[in-house]
């Protein structure tokens, strides 16, 4: 896993061979970024099905309980099949837009 710390968020890029190994890597390193807004980039490494993303539900819920953003970049996903606890965007630009919208919602008390 490649970790890139930006001003407003931390970008986690997968270099693992599977979604489950990427998930395990995030869990094992979670203390390094548990208080930061996260964007997970899995768009280029795997042939992803919508249900494959469910493995990240635990991390997403844990992170959102702290009122922090957790966005996954993945292409070819049926967004209607995802639970509300998983926020997915097709590109980094759209993931950043989601972070900005969530920051505004936090500022407004939502």
Locate 82 and state its tokens.
């995802």
Q: How many alpha carbons lie under 13 Å from residue 72 in its C-beta half-sphere?
A: 31
pLDDT of 29-42, one tens digit each? 999 999 999 999 99
Q: What is the pLDDT of residue 110?
A: 74
CATH of the domain at 8: 3.30.750.24
pLDDT digits (tens, 9 = 90+) for 28-87: 999 999 999 999 999 876 778 888 899 999 999 999 999 999 999 998 888 889 999 999
Domain range enclosing 75 = 2-108
pLDDT at 71: 97
Structure tokens at 77: 């996903």
pLDDT at res. 45 = 67
Distance of CA 64 to the CA centre of its chain: 11
pLDDT of residue 43: 81
Looking at the structure of the chain, the number of domains it has is 1
Among positive and negative, which fits the CA dihedral 81, 52, 9, 34? Answer: positive
């Amino acid at each position: 896993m490649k970790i890139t710390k930006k001003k407003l968020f931390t970008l986690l890029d997968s270099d693992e061979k599977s979604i489950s190994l990427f998930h395990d890597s995030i869990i094992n390193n979670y203390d390094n970024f548990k208080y930061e807004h996260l964007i997970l980039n899995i768009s280029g490494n795997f042939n992803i099905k919508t249900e494959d993303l469910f493995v990240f539900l635990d991390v997403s819920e844990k992170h959102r309980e702290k009122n922090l953003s957790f966005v996954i970049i993945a292409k070819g996903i049926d967004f209607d099949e995802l639970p509300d606890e998983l926020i997915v965007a097709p590109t980094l630009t759209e993931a950043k837009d989601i972070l900005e919208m969530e920051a505004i919602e936090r500022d407004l008390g939502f």
